[in-house]
Structure 1
Amino acid sequence: MKLVLIDGLPGIGKSTLAERLCGFAGSIGCEARWYREEDQEHPVHPAGLTTSRRQPGYSARCLQGWQRFAERYRSTNGLCILEGSLFQSTVRFMMEQEQGGIRGYVAEFERIVQSLSPVVIYLRSIDATEHSRSTALHRGEAWTTRVSAYLETTGYSRRRNLKGAEGMHRLWTAYAELCDSLLDQMSMPTLTVLVEPPDMERPFGRSVEFLISTGHIQAATKVS
């Protein structure tokens, strides 16, 4: 099994890209599976794990999930595409709760999954604050109110008195900066693509070329 990790800010296009890559891989005869971040039966972060994210030891339980995943899939064939599993389902929650050891967590994660030939496709916004505002506008008032209300209860927001939608924008901007710095320390092959939603054609094309270059997709045909 070869592992493809897709990450980036909420609303950046992770699910759209993951679905298209999975479909493309299948269309050229490559066995592929794709898991949404919120899938109840996620192979690393099932619902029972994510609901415990505010409890002590969350990062250790995430690493245990990765260990089980690596042991299960290292001798299987095909491609496994996971969206949001690198940062959003782990690092983001660690940051929100101000849990230490984030860099150590990422280093240990890399060690665990190295047998799966992991690669990262990171969808990066040109301006994280403006992207957060655009996402809030696109997803609507009810979504923005719900998410910002949750974020207000986190340790990160309470310590900095972050409130409402503007507090959410500030938190996600800081999260994007953290992800950028973590990518700099990682050794696995990484493609960073600047994204301007809703245009996902360029990120898709560049991602296919990247996966061909790393041997994750065997294809002689270029994306038109």
Structure 2
Amino acid sequence: MRSKLVLIEGLPGCGKTTTAQLVYEILTEMNITSQLFLEGNPEYPADYDGVAFFKKNECDELLNTHEKFKDLLSNLMIKQGNDYILEYRKVKIEYGPNFPDELLHAVFKHDIYELSLDQNRKLITERWMKFADRVLNGADTFVFDCCFIQNPVTMGMIKHDAKKEDVISYVIELETIVAPLNPLLLYVDQNDLDHSFRKAVKERPQEWSEGFIEYYTNQGYGKKQNYKGLEGTLQVLKARRELEEKIFNGFNITKIKVDNSSYNKNDYKQVLKGILSNYYKQTN
């Protein structure tokens, strides 16, 4: 069966987004109908971005605490069984100042990636299962940027300093869910992690690097190791790389490491084109 899913993974600064965009271009050139979802897309069909989760009592508390916005919130809440979700990022874009920062901060505390690891895993795996069931018999191929390995590892290791086996089992559960889609995993590699991350810090907005360093050193694994600043963040990334290497080696799905150390986009596209062409010949 033709692959219905191409997964792009790798460490920050390695070129995941560029890879995902190139894969989408190549699939289009191969006349394969595909859909591209990059990190941060609130429409991600197998993940949540900018979405809060509330149990009924938590939802009631939010409505009562913010009485002024009770009608608005009631209309925006999406019921899921006995619980509720609120796609607050999309709501903020649509409503602007009518959805004030005070309310946004209250909602953000319930973001799905601010929950416990167990609750996050339950919600995310359910989301992946619904996606896999929905697209199994469809014609499109989906290209996903960094939500398959990165998000569970970030949530488990970086945020909660969970046991390695718990993080690994989370990702392996996702592998089991997507296996019927005959996925192809492309893991973007760099031969010099230090250089690639420092390059990303230099090229991206200061706000990004400051937020990233804070996230990696002020909680979970980084905080426990007492890592600080950019150098400490690099130490966390090295530990993350070791864990992701172990996860990658344990996968049964088709997996390929691609070297993007040269940052030569034209040459890199040809490498990806060769990989995708060979893979789709084998799976057609």
1:135-174 aligned within 5 A: 135-174=200-239
**Partner Cα separation in structure 2 for residue 216 and residue 65 of structure 1:** 30
What residue is the counterpart of 1:59 in the other structure?
A: 121
Shift of 1:140: 4.8
Q: Specify the SS of the correspondent of 2:14.
A: coil
Q: Specify the SS of the correspondent of 1:214.
A: helix
Shift of 1:58: 1.2
What residue is the counterpart of 1:107 in the other structure?
A: 172
Q: Point out the structure with the larger helix share.
A: 2
Q: Which of residues 83, 88, 97 in structure 1 aligns to 2:150?
A: 88
Structure 1: which 5+ residue stretches go unaligned?
220-224
Shift of 1:5: 0.3
Question: 2:192, 2:261 within 8 Å by CA — same for their partners in 1?
Answer: no
Shift of 1:123: 0.5
**Partner Cα separation in structure 2 for residue 176 and residue 109 of structure 1:** 19
Question: 2:24, 2:36 within 8 Å by CA — same for their partners in 1?
Answer: yes
Per-residue Cα deviation, 1:147-184 (whole angstroms, up to 9, x for no partner): 21222322111101111111211111211121111111
What residue is the counterpart of 2:194 in the other structure?
A: 129
**Partner Cα separation in structure 1 for residue 141 and residue 280 of structure 2:** 11
User: Taking structure 2 as the reference length, what is the TM-score of the superposition?
Assistant: 0.71
1:172-191 aligned within 5 A: 172-191=237-256
Question: 2:5, 2:141 within 8 Å by CA — same for their partners in 1?
Answer: yes
Segment drifting more, 180-189 vs 88-97: 88-97
Residue 161 (structure 2) pairs with residue 98 (structure 1): yes
* Aligned residue identity for 1:136: V
User: Taking structure 1 as the reference length, what is the TM-score of the superposition?
Assistant: 0.89
Shift of 1:218: 8.8
Q: Specify the SS of the correspondent of 1:171.
A: helix
**Partner Cα separation in structure 1 for residue 178 and residue 136 of structure 2:** 9
Instruction: Provide the alpha-carbon RMSD of the alignment.
Output: 2.2
Shift of 1:213: 2.0
What residue is the counterpart of 1:7 in the other structure?
A: 9
**Partner Cα separation in structure 1 for residue 190 and residue 111 of structure 2:** 28
* Aligned residue identity for 1:103: I
Q: Which of residues 17, 23, 26 in structure 2 aligns to 1:24?
A: 26
Instruction: Mark the CA change 1:53 to 1:166 in structure 2 (over 3 Å): closer, same or farther.
Output: same
Residue 128 (structure 2) pairs with residue 70 (structure 1): no
**Partner Cα separation in structure 1 for residue 176 and residue 208 of structure 2:** 37
**Partner Cα separation in structure 1 for residue 279 and residue 16 of structure 2:** 20
**Partner Cα separation in structure 1 for residue 260 and residue 280 of structure 2:** 24
1:181-220 aligned within 5 A: 181-196=246-261, 198-215=263-280
**Partner Cα separation in structure 1 for residue 282 and residue 216 of structure 2:** 38
Q: Specify the SS of the correspondent of 2:7.
A: strand
Shift of 1:202: 3.6
Segment drifting more, 70-79 vs 89-98: 89-98
